[in-house]
């Protein structure tokens, strides 16, 4: 977010809509990568962000439960670059 005010506005909106948002400063513990040609549709549905990177897809998962599920499905923790 561009500013703390913008973040707070979004947080209030989500709260009013029944969500319980949490701020995550470092997404690294939630970030996994999986091969571009592997079956990752279920992981994509349970991620908050994804982007291609060479021959891989990088996914930021919703929570640690889905990180573990991704690892079971063949994903790996993303290497720090």
Residue pair 36/52 in contact (Cβ under 8 Å)? The answer is: yes
Whether residue 8 lies inside any domain: the answer is no
Whether residue 35 lies inside any domain: the answer is yes
pLDDT tens-digit series, residues 13-70:
999 999 988 888 889 999 999 999 998 999 999 999 999 999 999 999 999 999 999 9
Domain residues for the domain of 80 are 24-81
pTM for this model (two decimals): 0.76
Whether residue 5 lies inside any domain: the answer is no
Query: Looking at residue 21, what is its pLDDT?
Result: 85
Query: Looking at residue 23, what is its pLDDT?
Result: 82
Query: Looking at residue 80, what is its pLDDT?
Result: 61
Whether residue 57 lies inside any domain: the answer is yes
DSSP 48-69: EEEEEETTEEEEEESSHHHHHH
**Number of folded domains that form the chain:** 1
Taking the C-alpha atoms of residue 81 and residue 1, their distance in angstroms, rounded to an integer, is 23
Whether residue 51 lies inside any domain: the answer is yes
Whether residue 31 lies inside any domain: the answer is yes
Whether residue 15 lies inside any domain: the answer is no
Query: Looking at residue 25, what is its pLDDT?
Result: 83
Taking the C-alpha atoms of residue 40 and residue 43, their distance in angstroms, rounded to an integer, is 5
Whether residue 19 lies inside any domain: the answer is no
């Amino acid at each position: 977010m561009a500013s703390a005010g913008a973040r707070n506005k979004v947080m209030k909106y989500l709260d009013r809509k029944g969500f319980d948002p949490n701020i995550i400063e470092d997404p690294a513990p939630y970030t996994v990568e999986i091969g571009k040609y592997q079956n990752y549709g279920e992981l994509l549905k349970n991620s908050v962000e994804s982007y291609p990177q060479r021959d891989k897809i990088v996914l930021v998962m919703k929570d640690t439960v889905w990180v573990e599920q991704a690892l079971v499905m063949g994903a790996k923790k993303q290497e720090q670059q």
